[in-house]
Every structure is written in structure tokens, then in C-alpha cells.
Amino acid sequence: MTHQFEAFIDDLKSTHGRNLASVTLYGSAAAGDFIPAKSDYNLLIALHRIAPEDLRNAHACVREWHRMGHPVPVYFTVSELQNAADVFPIEFHQMEVARKVLYGTDVLASLKISDAFLRHQVEYELRSKLIQLRRQYIPASASVDGLKNLMGDSLASFSALFRAVLLLHGVNPPATKHEIVALTIQRLGLDGTVFEKIFNIRENNFTGKFEDAEANRLFGEYMEQIERVIDSVDRVGKV
């Protein structure tokens, strides 16, 4: 990826010039648990100012980056990063512990993250993803491969939220997905075998035959564990 990063950053420098403050890699690739063909390269681009013209000029280089299969980067101004830390505590907590500056200054180094709205955001995100998981199960249940892909992909999203769940419970979370999920299982008393099976499926380490009935049973157990996590968040701060 080094060549792709360098080429993209060169394009960004040509596009934005001195307005480009930094380019930061965050998420699984920065945390050290990147899985080829499964994980994404998430980039945060910080500009000193953002006008429609700046975004319009970025179209060509971002289009090429996206054409290679990468997500469209997130754009912030340097000042917005300071002001938005209380609105997106989950995302910024993740960036706080797992990031790599590819260009410019570390604009997140002095970030002051407020957790005033953390519980609300965590519960909202968890419930939203559970609803989405139920909807996606309907078409995915037509095949074992569909269920395997759904469980593996969704666990990556849930593990990012589990990190915030640990923060709510006063636990300092680790960086990688495996460690986060393991600590959540320990803290909340969850069934670890469910997540272990799904990690093996996600990482192509699952051995043996995986029949339709077993896949559907695992999905049901998976949903039960997610619901238990949501219940634990709902109880935070309540007497």
C-alpha cells in the first residue's frame, strides 16, 4: 500500500496545496488487525478551510482512490476537529489510540474528547446496527455464504462499538478487534464461543463443514449476545 498512499498524497498536495494540513490513517489498518479483502483503509483529511471549490477540486484524486476499492476519505477542517470531539466520541476515541499520520501534522494529538454524549451515541449506534443486522438477515439467510459474510462483516462494526462500551464501563480498551471483543466478553459475561466462531469465519480460519442449520443457529446466538451488550449500555447510569 505504500505506493498507493504516496501517490494519493501527492494528488492531494497538488489539489489542495498549502490548504492541506494532514492525512491520517485510522481504524484497523492503523491498529494492526487489518484483514486483506475485508478491512478498509480509512483516511481523515484535514484542511485549514473547506469551501465547495476545495471539495470539487478533490473529485479527480478521490475518484481514483475510490476506484481502487477504498472508502471515500472523511474531510474536516482543523478547527472542526476540536469542536466535533464531543459529538463523535466513539470515532475520535478510536482515532486516539489507532492512527498513523501519513502527511503533515498530527491534528488529533491535542484533541480533547468529551464523553458527555458517549452513552447516548453508543446505545443509538448499537440499536441502529442491530436493526440493520435483522434487515440484512432476511436476504442473507438464503445461503450459508450469505450468512457467513453478514456475520463476519458486521462483527467488525460491532467490535468498534464494543470499544466504546468498555469506556462506558470504566475499562481502558485495547486497540485490536480481538482484544476488544475478548475484554467485552470478560467484562459483560458474554458467550465467547459465538464471537470466536465468527472471527474464524471472518478470517477464513473456520474448519469443518458449516451447514445451513448451524449457520442460522449461530446467527441467532450472535443476535442474543448483541442484545445483551445493548442491555448493559442501557443500564449505565441507572439506579
pLDDT at residue 78 in the model = 92
pLDDT at residue 152 in the model = 92
Rounded distance, CA 194 to CA 188, Å? 14
CA-based torsion, 168, 171, 176, 177: positive or negative: negative
DSSP string, the chain: -HHHHHHHHHHHHHHHGGGEEEEEEESHHHHT---TTTS--EEEEEES---HHHHHHTHHHHHHHHHTTPPPPEEEEHHHHHHSTTT-HHHHHHHHHSEEEEEE--TTTT-----TTHHHHHHHHHHHHHHHHHHHHHHHTT-HHHHHHHHHHHHHHHHHHHHHHHHHTT----SSHHHHHHHHHHHHT--HHHHHHHHHHHTT---S---HHHHHHHHHHHHHHHHHHHHHHHHTT--
One domain for residues 74 and 125:
no
Question: How far from 90 is each of 1, 87, 195, 207, CA to CA, in Å?
Answer: 27, 9, 21, 34
pLDDT at residue 106 in the model = 92
Q: Point out the domain boundary residue: 57, 77, 104.
A: 104
Rounded distance, CA 105 to CA 231, Å? 40
- Would 157 be classed as within a structural domain? yes
- Would 112 be classed as within a structural domain? no
pTM exceeding the 0.95 threshold for the entire prediction:
no
Q: How many CB atoms lie within 10 A of CB 50?
A: 17
pLDDT at residue 11 in the model = 94
- Would 33 be classed as within a structural domain? yes
CATH for 79 = 3.30.460.10
15: pLDDT strictly greater than 90: yes
One domain for residues 126 and 231:
yes
Question: pLDDT tens, 109-121?
Answer: 888 877 778 888 8
Q: Domain limits at 222?
A: 118-235
One domain for residues 90 and 132:
no
With pLDDT > 90 as the criterion, what percentage of the chain qualifies? 60
Question: pLDDT tens, 132-158?
Answer: 999 999 999 999 999 999 999 999 889
Question: pLDDT tens, 42-83?
Answer: 899 999 999 999 999 999 999 999 998 888 999 999 998 888
Question: pLDDT tens, 151-175?
Answer: 999 998 899 899 999 989 989 888 8
Q: Point out the domain boundary residue: 53, 78, 104.
A: 104
Rounded distance, CA 56 to CA 54, Å? 5
Pairing relationship of beta strands 42-47 and 74-77 according to DSSP bridges = parallel
Give me the mean pLDDT over the 185-196 stretch: 96
pLDDT at residue 229 in the model = 96
pLDDT at residue 142 in the model = 92
32: pLDDT strictly greater than 80: no
One domain for residues 124 and 216:
yes
The domain tally of the chain equals: 2
One domain for residues 130 and 48:
no
Give me the mean pLDDT over the 97-123 stretch: 86
